[in-house]
Amino acid sequence: MTIKEVQDKIIRLKKEKDICILAHSYEAREILEVADFTGDSYALSKMAASAGNSTVLMCGVRFMAETVKILSPHKKVILSSPVAGCPMAEQFDVETVRALKQEHPDYLVVAYINTTAALKTVCDVCVTSASAVKIVRQLDADNILFIPDCNLGSFVAKQVPEKHIMLVQGGCPVHSAVTAEEAAKARELHPQAELLVHPECIPQVSALADYVGSTSGIMEYAMQSPKKEFIIGTENSIAEHLQYLCPDKTFYTMTTGMICRDMKATTLVDVLRCCEGTGGEVIELDDEAITQARKCIDAMIALGG
Ligand code: 13P
Ligand code: SF4
Protein backbone atom coordinates (compact mmCIF):
# COMPACT_ATOMS: atom_id res chain seq x y z
CA MET A 1 0.00 0.00 0.00
CA THR A 2 1.19 3.56 -0.65
CA ILE A 3 1.15 6.23 2.07
CA LYS A 4 -1.88 7.76 0.36
CA GLU A 5 -3.75 4.43 0.36
CA VAL A 6 -3.05 3.92 4.07
CA GLN A 7 -4.20 7.48 4.79
CA ASP A 8 -7.42 6.95 2.77
CA LYS A 9 -8.14 3.77 4.71
CA ILE A 10 -7.60 5.57 8.04
CA ILE A 11 -9.92 8.41 6.97
CA ARG A 12 -12.64 5.94 5.96
CA LEU A 13 -12.31 3.89 9.16
CA LYS A 14 -12.31 6.88 11.51
CA LYS A 15 -15.60 8.07 10.00
CA GLU A 16 -17.17 4.60 10.15
CA LYS A 17 -16.11 4.06 13.75
CA ASP A 18 -16.67 7.60 15.08
CA ILE A 19 -13.00 8.07 15.99
CA CYS A 20 -11.48 11.52 16.56
CA ILE A 21 -7.76 11.56 15.83
CA LEU A 22 -5.67 14.05 17.81
CA ALA A 23 -2.00 14.48 16.91
CA HIS A 24 0.70 16.51 18.66
CA SER A 25 2.69 18.76 16.32
CA TYR A 26 5.84 16.67 16.93
CA GLU A 27 4.27 13.72 15.07
CA ALA A 28 5.25 12.93 11.49
CA ARG A 29 3.62 14.87 8.67
CA GLU A 30 1.73 11.87 7.25
CA ILE A 31 0.06 11.43 10.67
CA LEU A 32 -0.82 15.13 11.02
CA GLU A 33 -2.52 14.87 7.61
CA VAL A 34 -5.08 12.29 8.83
CA ALA A 35 -5.73 13.98 12.18
CA ASP A 36 -8.91 15.89 13.04
CA PHE A 37 -6.97 18.24 15.31
CA THR A 38 -3.27 18.98 15.59
CA GLY A 39 -1.47 21.28 17.96
CA ASP A 40 0.67 21.59 21.06
CA SER A 41 -0.18 20.18 24.49
CA TYR A 42 -2.32 23.22 25.28
CA ALA A 43 -4.44 23.02 22.12
CA LEU A 44 -4.84 19.25 22.43
CA SER A 45 -5.95 19.39 26.06
CA LYS A 46 -8.67 21.89 25.07
CA MET A 47 -9.71 19.74 22.08
CA ALA A 48 -9.83 16.68 24.30
CA ALA A 49 -12.55 18.28 26.37
CA SER A 50 -14.73 19.26 23.41
CA ALA A 51 -14.47 16.42 20.86
CA GLY A 52 -17.89 14.82 20.43
CA ASN A 53 -16.76 11.38 19.17
CA SER A 54 -17.14 8.17 21.16
CA THR A 55 -13.48 7.22 20.63
CA VAL A 56 -10.40 9.44 20.74
CA LEU A 57 -7.12 8.25 19.27
CA MET A 58 -4.20 10.24 20.68
CA CYS A 59 -1.13 10.27 18.47
CA GLY A 60 1.36 11.59 20.95
CA VAL A 61 2.64 10.35 24.29
CA ARG A 62 1.00 8.63 27.26
CA PHE A 63 0.36 11.68 29.47
CA MET A 64 -1.59 13.26 26.59
CA ALA A 65 -3.85 10.22 26.24
CA GLU A 66 -4.32 10.16 30.02
CA THR A 67 -5.34 13.83 29.93
CA VAL A 68 -8.02 12.99 27.35
CA LYS A 69 -9.27 10.11 29.52
CA ILE A 70 -9.38 12.32 32.63
CA LEU A 71 -11.43 14.94 30.77
CA SER A 72 -13.66 12.41 28.98
CA PRO A 73 -13.85 9.32 31.21
CA HIS A 74 -16.79 7.80 29.29
CA LYS A 75 -14.95 7.83 25.98
CA LYS A 76 -12.73 5.08 24.69
CA VAL A 77 -9.26 6.65 24.58
CA ILE A 78 -6.49 4.95 22.64
CA LEU A 79 -2.78 5.79 22.81
CA SER A 80 -1.34 5.29 19.32
CA SER A 81 1.77 3.43 20.50
CA PRO A 82 1.99 1.72 23.90
CA VAL A 83 5.72 2.51 24.12
CA ALA A 84 5.26 6.27 23.65
CA GLY A 85 5.92 7.62 27.13
CA CYS A 86 7.47 10.94 28.08
CA PRO A 87 10.60 10.53 30.23
CA MET A 88 9.95 13.88 31.91
CA ALA A 89 6.40 12.88 32.93
CA GLU A 90 7.83 9.97 34.89
CA GLN A 91 10.67 11.80 36.66
CA PHE A 92 8.68 12.29 39.88
CA ASP A 93 6.48 9.92 41.79
CA VAL A 94 3.56 10.52 44.13
CA GLU A 95 5.63 9.83 47.28
CA THR A 96 8.27 12.41 46.35
CA VAL A 97 5.65 15.09 45.77
CA ARG A 98 3.87 14.18 49.02
CA ALA A 99 7.17 14.51 50.90
CA LEU A 100 7.88 17.90 49.27
CA LYS A 101 4.40 19.09 50.22
CA GLN A 102 4.95 18.03 53.80
CA GLU A 103 8.26 19.86 53.91
CA HIS A 104 6.70 22.99 52.35
CA PRO A 105 3.06 23.10 53.48
CA ASP A 106 2.64 26.75 52.47
CA TYR A 107 3.49 26.06 48.80
CA LEU A 108 0.99 25.47 45.98
CA VAL A 109 2.13 22.64 43.71
CA VAL A 110 2.04 23.56 40.00
CA ALA A 111 2.47 20.61 37.65
CA TYR A 112 3.49 20.88 34.03
CA ILE A 113 0.89 18.90 32.06
CA ASN A 114 3.78 16.58 31.12
CA THR A 115 3.14 14.51 34.26
CA THR A 116 1.46 11.15 34.82
CA ALA A 117 -2.21 11.00 35.86
CA ALA A 118 -1.05 9.61 39.22
CA LEU A 119 1.15 12.64 39.82
CA LYS A 120 -1.66 15.04 38.94
CA THR A 121 -3.72 13.54 41.79
CA VAL A 122 -1.36 15.17 44.33
CA CYS A 123 -0.81 18.51 42.57
CA ASP A 124 -2.91 21.68 42.80
CA VAL A 125 -2.95 23.03 39.25
CA CYS A 126 -1.65 22.05 35.82
CA VAL A 127 -0.01 24.31 33.26
CA THR A 128 1.13 23.81 29.68
CA SER A 129 4.11 25.61 28.21
CA ALA A 130 1.70 27.97 26.44
CA SER A 131 -0.32 28.79 29.55
CA ALA A 132 2.22 28.54 32.39
CA VAL A 133 3.06 32.24 32.76
CA LYS A 134 -0.58 33.35 32.57
CA ILE A 135 -1.74 30.77 35.10
CA VAL A 136 1.06 31.17 37.64
CA ARG A 137 0.57 34.95 37.56
CA GLN A 138 -3.09 34.51 38.50
CA LEU A 139 -2.62 32.02 41.32
CA ASP A 140 -3.80 33.06 44.73
CA ALA A 141 -0.49 32.06 46.36
CA ASP A 142 2.95 33.64 46.70
CA ASN A 143 4.89 30.41 47.15
CA ILE A 144 4.89 27.93 44.31
CA LEU A 145 6.56 24.57 43.90
CA PHE A 146 6.95 23.95 40.18
CA ILE A 147 7.40 20.35 38.94
CA PRO A 148 8.89 18.58 37.01
CA ASP A 149 10.63 20.92 34.52
CA CYS A 150 13.11 23.29 36.17
CA ASN A 151 13.80 24.97 32.81
CA LEU A 152 10.18 25.87 32.11
CA GLY A 153 9.89 26.75 35.82
CA SER A 154 12.86 29.08 35.57
CA PHE A 155 11.36 30.74 32.48
CA VAL A 156 8.08 31.28 34.39
CA ALA A 157 9.96 32.61 37.43
CA LYS A 158 11.60 35.29 35.26
CA GLN A 159 8.24 36.38 33.82
CA VAL A 160 6.49 36.35 37.19
CA PRO A 161 9.07 37.87 39.58
CA GLU A 162 6.44 38.79 42.15
CA LYS A 163 6.03 35.10 43.14
CA HIS A 164 8.52 32.85 44.86
CA ILE A 165 8.92 29.80 42.65
CA MET A 166 10.76 26.80 44.00
CA LEU A 167 12.27 24.57 41.33
CA VAL A 168 13.23 20.93 41.51
CA GLN A 169 15.69 19.17 39.22
CA GLY A 170 13.87 17.69 36.21
CA GLY A 171 13.26 18.36 32.56
CA CYS A 172 12.91 17.18 28.99
CA PRO A 173 15.91 15.11 27.89
CA VAL A 174 15.48 16.30 24.29
CA HIS A 175 15.26 20.05 24.86
CA SER A 176 17.56 20.29 27.88
CA ALA A 177 20.39 18.42 26.11
CA VAL A 178 21.15 21.39 23.86
CA THR A 179 24.08 23.46 25.13
CA ALA A 180 24.56 27.23 24.87
CA GLU A 181 27.61 26.51 22.67
CA GLU A 182 25.43 24.57 20.20
CA ALA A 183 22.83 27.34 20.14
CA ALA A 184 25.57 29.96 19.58
CA LYS A 185 27.06 27.83 16.80
CA ALA A 186 23.68 27.67 15.04
CA ARG A 187 23.48 31.47 15.23
CA GLU A 188 26.96 31.76 13.79
CA LEU A 189 26.05 29.44 10.89
CA HIS A 190 22.88 31.39 10.10
CA PRO A 191 23.56 35.02 11.04
CA GLN A 192 20.42 36.32 9.28
CA ALA A 193 18.10 33.91 11.08
CA GLU A 194 16.05 34.52 14.21
CA LEU A 195 16.43 31.91 16.95
CA LEU A 196 13.10 30.64 18.35
CA VAL A 197 13.41 28.45 21.42
CA HIS A 198 11.09 26.31 23.58
CA PRO A 199 11.21 27.08 27.34
CA GLU A 200 12.07 23.42 28.03
CA CYS A 201 15.59 24.38 26.87
CA ILE A 202 18.12 25.41 29.52
CA PRO A 203 18.08 29.12 30.51
CA GLN A 204 21.52 29.68 28.89
CA VAL A 205 20.02 28.63 25.53
CA SER A 206 16.82 30.65 26.03
CA ALA A 207 19.02 33.68 26.82
CA LEU A 208 20.40 33.57 23.27
CA ALA A 209 16.96 33.44 21.63
CA ASP A 210 14.98 36.17 19.89
CA TYR A 211 11.77 34.48 21.03
CA VAL A 212 10.98 31.90 23.73
CA GLY A 213 7.61 30.15 23.61
CA SER A 214 5.60 26.96 23.34
CA THR A 215 5.43 24.90 20.17
CA SER A 216 2.38 26.80 18.92
CA GLY A 217 3.98 30.09 19.99
CA ILE A 218 7.07 29.30 17.92
CA MET A 219 4.96 28.31 14.92
CA GLU A 220 2.77 31.41 15.08
CA TYR A 221 5.80 33.67 15.56
CA ALA A 222 7.56 32.21 12.50
CA MET A 223 4.44 32.31 10.32
CA GLN A 224 3.60 35.91 11.18
CA SER A 225 7.12 37.35 11.21
CA PRO A 226 8.25 39.42 8.21
CA LYS A 227 11.72 37.80 8.65
CA LYS A 228 12.75 35.10 6.17
CA GLU A 229 15.06 32.78 8.10
CA PHE A 230 14.57 31.00 11.42
CA ILE A 231 16.48 28.55 13.61
CA ILE A 232 13.94 26.34 15.34
CA GLY A 233 14.89 25.49 18.92
CA THR A 234 12.44 22.70 19.58
CA GLU A 235 11.76 19.19 18.24
CA ASN A 236 13.15 19.04 14.72
CA SER A 237 9.83 18.10 13.13
CA ILE A 238 8.65 21.68 13.73
CA ALA A 239 11.32 23.04 11.36
CA GLU A 240 10.05 20.56 8.76
CA HIS A 241 6.35 21.36 9.28
CA LEU A 242 7.06 25.10 9.12
CA GLN A 243 8.98 24.64 5.88
CA TYR A 244 5.85 23.10 4.30
CA LEU A 245 3.61 25.81 5.74
CA CYS A 246 5.88 28.71 4.68
CA PRO A 247 7.69 27.73 1.45
CA ASP A 248 8.97 31.29 0.95
CA LYS A 249 10.90 31.18 4.26
CA THR A 250 13.86 29.05 5.35
CA PHE A 251 13.94 27.00 8.54
CA TYR A 252 17.01 25.46 10.17
CA THR A 253 17.19 23.10 13.11
CA MET A 254 19.15 24.32 16.15
CA THR A 255 20.90 20.93 16.41
CA THR A 256 20.38 17.65 14.57
CA GLY A 257 19.75 15.87 17.89
CA MET A 258 16.41 17.43 18.89
CA ILE A 259 14.35 14.36 18.10
CA CYS A 260 11.87 12.96 20.61
CA ARG A 261 11.88 9.23 20.05
CA ASP A 262 8.66 8.86 22.04
CA MET A 263 6.82 11.27 19.77
CA LYS A 264 8.29 9.40 16.82
CA ALA A 265 7.28 5.98 18.18
CA THR A 266 3.97 6.15 16.30
CA THR A 267 3.96 5.22 12.61
CA LEU A 268 1.16 5.73 10.11
CA VAL A 269 0.58 1.97 10.14
CA ASP A 270 0.16 2.13 13.94
CA VAL A 271 -2.60 4.68 13.34
CA LEU A 272 -4.24 2.31 10.85
CA ARG A 273 -4.03 -0.62 13.30
CA CYS A 274 -5.62 1.54 16.01
CA CYS A 275 -8.50 2.41 13.67
CA GLU A 276 -8.89 -1.28 12.76
CA GLY A 277 -9.08 -2.13 16.46
CA THR A 278 -5.90 -4.20 16.65
CA GLY A 279 -3.27 -1.67 17.75
CA GLY A 280 -2.45 0.94 20.35
CA GLU A 281 -3.41 0.79 24.00
CA VAL A 282 -6.79 1.57 25.49
CA ILE A 283 -6.19 3.89 28.45
CA GLU A 284 -7.74 2.71 31.72
CA LEU A 285 -7.66 4.86 34.86
CA ASP A 286 -9.54 4.16 38.08
CA ASP A 287 -12.39 6.47 39.04
CA GLU A 288 -10.61 7.88 42.10
CA ALA A 289 -7.53 8.81 40.03
CA ILE A 290 -9.73 10.47 37.41
CA THR A 291 -11.62 12.50 40.03
CA GLN A 292 -8.45 13.68 41.79
CA ALA A 293 -6.40 14.36 38.65
CA ARG A 294 -9.30 16.21 37.09
CA LYS A 295 -9.26 18.81 39.88
CA CYS A 296 -5.73 19.72 38.82
CA ILE A 297 -6.69 20.06 35.14
CA ASP A 298 -9.98 21.85 35.91
CA ALA A 299 -8.04 24.39 37.98
CA MET A 300 -5.98 25.14 34.86
CA ILE A 301 -9.08 25.45 32.66
CA ALA A 302 -10.79 27.72 35.22
CA LEU A 303 -7.82 30.10 35.03
CA GLY A 304 -8.14 30.27 31.27
CA GLY A 305 -5.51 27.67 30.53
P1 13P B 1 4.19 21.94 24.10
O2 13P B 1 3.38 21.05 23.27
O3 13P B 1 3.42 22.45 25.29
O4 13P B 1 4.89 23.02 23.39
O5 13P B 1 5.32 21.04 24.79
C6 13P B 1 6.29 20.47 24.07
C7 13P B 1 6.51 19.08 24.47
O8 13P B 1 7.59 18.71 24.79
C9 13P B 1 5.39 18.18 24.44
O10 13P B 1 5.71 17.05 25.10
FE1 SF4 C 1 8.59 14.46 26.78
FE2 SF4 C 1 10.49 16.06 25.83
FE3 SF4 C 1 9.46 14.19 24.26
FE4 SF4 C 1 8.00 16.31 24.95
S5 SF4 C 1 9.84 16.32 23.70
S6 SF4 C 1 7.35 14.18 24.96
S7 SF4 C 1 8.73 16.67 27.05
S8 SF4 C 1 10.63 13.86 26.14
253 C-alpha to center of ligand 2: Å? 17
- Whether the predicted pLDDT of 232 surpasses 80: yes
Helices 215-224 and 237-245: crossing angle, nearest 10°? 30
Q: Which residues pair with 163 in a beta bridge?
A: none
Is beta strand 194-197 parallel, antiparallel or unpaired with respect to 211-212?
parallel
What residue owns the CA closest to ligand 1's atom 7?
A: 41
250 C-alpha to center of ligand 1: Å? 23
Pocket of ligand 2 (CB under 6 A): 61, 86-88, 114, 172-175, 235, 260, 262-263
- At 48, the pLDDT band (50, 70, 90 cuts) reads confident
Region of 37 (left: φ > 0; alpha: ψ -120 to 50; beta: rest) is beta
- Whether the predicted pLDDT of 129 surpasses 90: yes
Q: Which residues pair with 189 in a beta bridge?
A: none
Question: Residue 184 CA to chain centroid, in angstroms?
Answer: 25
- Whether the predicted pLDDT of 305 surpasses 90: no
Q: Please identify, by atom number, the ligand 1 atom nearest to the C-alpha of residue 260.
A: 8
pLDDT of residue 99: 96
pLDDT of residue 5: 98
CA distance 273 to 275: 5
pLDDT 10s digits, 179-218: 999 999 999 999 999 999 999 999 999 999 999 999 999 9
DSSP 8-state assignment for residue 75: S
Exposure b/e, 224-244, CB count within 10 A at least 16 = b? ebeeeebbbbbbbbbbebbbe
- Whether the predicted pLDDT of 70 surpasses 80: yes
- At 65, the pLDDT band (50, 70, 90 cuts) reads very high
pLDDT 10s digits, 78-126: 999 999 999 999 999 999 999 999 999 999 999 999 999 999 999 999 9
Report which of 67, 63, 53 is spatially closest to residue 21, judged by C-alpha positions: 53
pLDDT of residue 231: 98
Report angle CA 140, 143, 148 to the nearest 5 degrees: 105
- Whether the predicted pLDDT of 286 surpasses 90: yes
pLDDT of residue 42: 75
Residues 6+ positions from 90 with CB-CB distance below 8 Å: 116
